[in-house]
Amino acid sequence: MSETMILVVEDDDAVRDLIAAALETQEYNCHTAANGTQALLEATAQNPDAILLDLGLPDLDGIEVIKRIRTWSNKPIIVISGRTEDKDKIEALDAGADDYLTKPFSVNELLARVRVTLRRLAYMNDETKSDSAVFRNGSLTIEYASGCAYLDGRELHLTPNEYKILCLLAKNVGKVLTRTYIIKEIWGGTWENNVASLRVFMATLRKKLQEDTAHPQLIQTHVGVGYRMLRSGGDEKGKTNRG
Ligand code: CA
């Protein structure tokens, strides 16, 4: 197995060293950058498997770095933010980030996010290879060709919109999707008209999936931000991310 390479972009030397040291204990190969310009150069030169990116950089805004990287790379980006505003996380996710961590975070939290993200990457690579017509995740099965979804082998009776939302979450399994993104994909419209509808569809969908909202197995809520389908067997199940 080839070594996994992670690019750490952070202007605070102490934090950058701490993150790099934590990743190296797990035998990840680390490259670092202290600003946005260096981050773009390293990302191009090294083509890392994943990028940990601080949003508050001295030269370029972190959001701008995400946008530029996304013009040529789909590799996972985990945003590290000192900002507590949901708005920044949403902006970063809509620009193409996969996940976010809010400072201060623990080393264990950081490593857990990296593992989830790399698992998502491995899954995406498998999907591309097999071009799978059937999605399986724990007790959930979706047969794209017939447009049917099953829970523990029993067919789920979903409305067209519930099915579309379920497929969208499944195709992005492991990734946090913002409400704005989901609304745009499902209704093609704007946020204002559909935010209440999305909430209703999510509630009915979860009920059909027999989700206990306090301990979700499949769909995690990110309060004020959006939703993520958890990958069965190892993602941080049941943990609602409020950071
Ligand atoms: Ca910073």
Query: Per residue in 164-185, is it b (16+ CB within 10 Å) or e — as a string?
Result: bbbbbbbbbbbbbbbbbbbbee
**End-to-end CA, the chain:** 34
What is the CA(84)–ligand 1 centre distance, in A? 13
Q: Say how far apart CA 34 and CA 12 lie, in whole Å.
A: 7
What is the CA(13)–ligand 1 centre distance, in A? 10
Q: Say how far apart CA 93 and CA 181 lie, in whole Å.
A: 9
Helix axes 62-70, 86-95, angle to 10 degrees: 20
Among candidates 139, 135, 199, 141, which has minimal Cα distance to 172?
Answer: 135
Mean pLDDT by 10 residues, the chain (243 residues): 87 95 94 97 95 95 95 92 82 92 91 88 70 87 94 94 94 91 84 80 93 85 91 55 41
What is the CA(66)–ligand 1 centre distance, in A? 15
pTM given for the model: 0.77
Both tokens assigned to 178: 């913002």
The pLDDT value recorded for residue 1 is 46
What is the CA(61)–ligand 1 centre distance, in A? 10
What is the CA(113)–ligand 1 centre distance, in A? 19
Percentage helix, strand, coil for the chain under 3-state DSSP, each rounded to 5? 45, 20, 35
Residue 170 identity (one-letter amino acid): A
Q: Say how far apart CA 33 and CA 69 lie, in whole Å.
A: 14
